[in-house]
Amino acid sequence: MARRCRTPRSRATNSYWTWKSTGPEEKAMAYAMEEATRAGQAPATSAPGVVLAFGREPKDGKEDRFTQVLREFGMKETHIRAVQQRQALTNESLTDIMCSADYGFLTPEKIAQVNARMDGLAYLPPAAIDEIDPERIPQAAWPTEFRHWVPIDYDAAAQCLTVAISEIEQENIAKTALPDYLVRYRIASHRTIQSIYRQCFARTEAAFDVAYGRMRELMGREDDPDAAAALGELIMTLIRHACYMQASDIGLTPMATSTGAMVRLKVGGVGDFFRFLEWPIWKRIITYLITRSGRQEKLRDEPVDGKIEFTSAQEKKYAEIKHRYAFRVSLTRQVESPENEFTTVVIRILDKDAEAAELDQIGMDPHTLQRLRGYMQADHGIFLTTGPTGSGKTSAIYALLNEVDPIERWVQSSERPIEYRKGSWIQYQVPGHKDEGEAAQLLLKGILRNAPNIILNGETRDAEIAALMLEMANTGHLTLSTQHNNRAETALTRLKNFGVDMTDVAAVLLGILALRLVRKLCTRCSVPDAREATRHLLRHDWLADTPHRPRRAGPGCRHCNHTGYRGRQLVYELLHVDPQVRRLIERQALPSEIAAAGLPPHRRMTASALRLLSAGITSHEAIASILATEVEEAPDDYQPGENAWLQSPYASHADGEAAS
């Protein structure tokens, strides 16, 4: 019979190896492999069906250790008691209780770090995703569907597979699926595991083509239940592919020649062609979406909102899409047509895990982070984020609010829609059947009667909302909101145009954070940038302590979908309202005067972009739209060493070449 052997405990990790074996020879191998691993060597031998794993602490003392680990990660005693009380009643996992949509006392990444500490396993951070090369892993070990575990590395000599799981309880699931490999485990957040699967192992483009082929076979059989199911499957495979590609939008546009329609995706703020749809299939798709909206008549006069609805079968098959993403559908009629076939469709994809980003991980310098955390300590005032659509305004506010204790300080929000659910906040959605401005005013007035400490207003879009925000700040509430402006100082012009008293604004405004997102270079195919124009941009004294490794987009590769870019990075500027800036606001100075006083050249958005260029994170072309004004030399308040926090992906490559 199989026996489970336990080797001596490791004092360094306070954990133990377990070995599923069939006799004393395998047990001896376990001891040898543990010693090799402690010495930092790969196991020299292996056997099919053998799994090496860390085990949990024995139950004696486990609860005390669990409590101690939670304290080490900054959880307060009141939060720990709440978790313990609920676990005693429901026996739920820490991951389930602490997820953002539930208690949310810890971010998903901190939850993963707690699990790693408890299980004696290494933690896999999100930054490691770009280092995973699926070509190193045998295809027999590739997951064919999302299963809450993913292989991340393979040692061919030892036939040892490294697998990421979010909890040790998922060890058995991976064991069953990988019977022919020696397996080691690392702990990652559920979101990181999803991202690895979708970027490395999902074959969603091929799945869409299969669904499209099935739809073509069933054309002309509109009353056939199989045809209806095939249409739903086609739409779902398109949505899944867009989500896995990290697209922000899907655009479906009919051709003026009635030959068909184009499907386009917007990834990293840049549009990309995906597929052409034949006219009969397009008509089926647009009819389906318009019918589901329930607003066919209204579409004749104005744009309408549609819906993405999941059947019970689709909820099961596409569970990770259903639970992680939300969708906003906009239908706009181009010209009059009997069947509304000349209607454009734009599907906005909202990643509900995006708010899980920790403030320290969104790419800001320590000086700015210190300022932002200081604002969150204030008991009243106004803080604004500003930028164009899709620039990360809401995500930045959520990352900031994640630093607030939601039990001690009640966070209440007015949003339309609620993009990210936070279980420990009190969130209200502005009703969709009323005028948005009027409905938001009524809701904010109601929130003021609900004893909030911090109020999040989705957007300051008119004079009435701006006046209400001033009232909230003046009555002892910390108020956060967003605006659509390109620069920090122009947000003040917008407030002035609303007709609010700028003296009142100056009295309560804490700061304005302007944001943009720029494309990140692919770390596998980018090439050094030795162009004179790039070197000229990096001539400033305040860039002396940044890594000078500028790069440009290469030819493209599978890793970046042959675009030369993969992902996006935040660039920003923070207008801090100090006494000098406050006086300028009071006397309604020009935006340029306010910027000159509150935004020295090395803290402007252009400087933020140039730091990324210098480090080889982005390219000259990717930041061209931001470099509209020349950056001057740094003033006297620049301190050498301020850029030491910035790391280049190529720091270990003396010749400046990308990692292979």
**pLDDT at position 542:** 84
More reliable by pLDDT, 633 or 445:
445
Q: Is the pTM of this model over 0.75?
A: yes
527-536 residue pLDDT tens: 999 999 999 8
4-55 residue pLDDT tens: 333 333 333 333 233 333 344 443 444 344 444 444 444 443 333 333 333 3
What residues make up the domain containing 250?
A: 204-351
pLDDT at 305 over 50: yes
**pLDDT at position 637:** 55
Cα atoms found within 13 Å of the Cα of residue 601, Cβ hemisphere only: 15
Residue ending a domain, choose from 331, 351, 371? 351
pLDDT at 56 over 60: no
- 189 and 214 belong to one structural domain: no
SS (H, E, C) 9-65: CECCCCECEEEEECCHHHHHHHHHHHHHHHCCCCCCCCCCCCCEEECCCCCCCHHHH
Give dist(CA 141, CA 201) in Å, integer.
10
Does residue 364 sit within a domain? yes
Does residue 606 sit within a domain? no
Domain CATH code at residue 253: 3.30.450.90
More reliable by pLDDT, 84 or 234:
234
- 174 and 37 belong to one structural domain: yes
Does residue 478 sit within a domain? yes
Does residue 561 sit within a domain? no
Average pLDDT over residues 426-433: 80
pLDDT at 651 over 70: no
Band (376; pLDDT cuts 50, 70, 90): very high
**pLDDT at position 149:** 92
- Least confident range of 41-45, 51-55, 74-78, 478-482: 51-55
**pLDDT at position 587:** 94
pLDDT at 88 over 50: yes
- 446 and 586 belong to one structural domain: yes
- 209 and 198 belong to one structural domain: no
- 456 and 484 belong to one structural domain: yes
- Tell me how many degrees the CA angle 66-68-73 measures, rounded to the nearest 5: 95
Residue ending a domain, choose from 167, 202, 237? 202
Does residue 562 sit within a domain? no
**pLDDT at position 37:** 43
pLDDT at 192 over 70: yes
Give dist(CA 374, CA 383) in Å, integer.
11
More reliable by pLDDT, 579 or 297:
579
- Beta-bridge partners for 444: none
654: CB partners within 8 A, 6+ apart: none
- Least confident range of 41-45, 101-105, 425-429, 488-492: 41-45
Q: How many angstroms separate the Cα of 613 from the Cα of each of 521, 543, 553, 604?
A: 10, 10, 12, 15
Band (109; pLDDT cuts 50, 70, 90): confident
Does residue 423 sit within a domain? yes
Average pLDDT over residues 163-192: 89
- 177 and 232 belong to one structural domain: no
Question: What percent of the chain shows pLDDT beyond 70?
Answer: 83
pLDDT at 110 over 50: yes
The count of domains in the chain is 3
229: CB partners within 8 A, 6+ apart: none
**pLDDT at position 266:** 92
**pLDDT at position 354:** 60
Give dist(CA 552, CA 557) in Å, integer.
14
Q: Is 8 left (phi over 0), alpha (psi -120 to 50) or beta?
A: beta
260-293 residue pLDDT tens: 999 999 987 888 899 999 999 999 999 888 888 7
- 345 and 401 belong to one structural domain: no
Does residue 252 sit within a domain? yes
**pLDDT at position 597:** 94
- 345 and 408 belong to one structural domain: no
**pLDDT at position 645:** 60
- 37 and 115 belong to one structural domain: yes
91-103 residue pLDDT tens: 887 667 877 667 8
How many other C-beta atoms can be found within 10 angstroms of the C-beta atom of residue 86? 15
* Element of type H or E holding 152: strand 149-155
- Least confident range of 154-168, 210-224, 635-649: 635-649
**pLDDT at position 598:** 94
- Least confident range of 210-214, 262-266, 290-294, 570-574: 290-294
**pLDDT at position 353:** 66
Average pLDDT over residues 456-464: 89
Considering the chain, what is the average pLDDT of its residues?
82
- 184 and 218 belong to one structural domain: no
Domain CATH code at residue 587: 3.40.50.300
- 80 and 189 belong to one structural domain: yes
* Element of type H or E holding 332: strand 325-333
Does residue 506 sit within a domain? yes
Residue ending a domain, choose from 334, 351, 368? 351
317-364 residue pLDDT tens: 888 888 888 888 999 988 877 777 899 999 999 877 665 567 888 889
Average pLDDT over residues 236-240: 95
344: CB partners within 8 A, 6+ apart: 251, 252, 253, 254, 331, 332, 334
Average pLDDT over residues 427-454: 83
- 123 and 160 belong to one structural domain: yes
Give dist(CA 22, CA 34) in Å, integer.
18
Q: Which amino acid type is present at position 51?
A: V
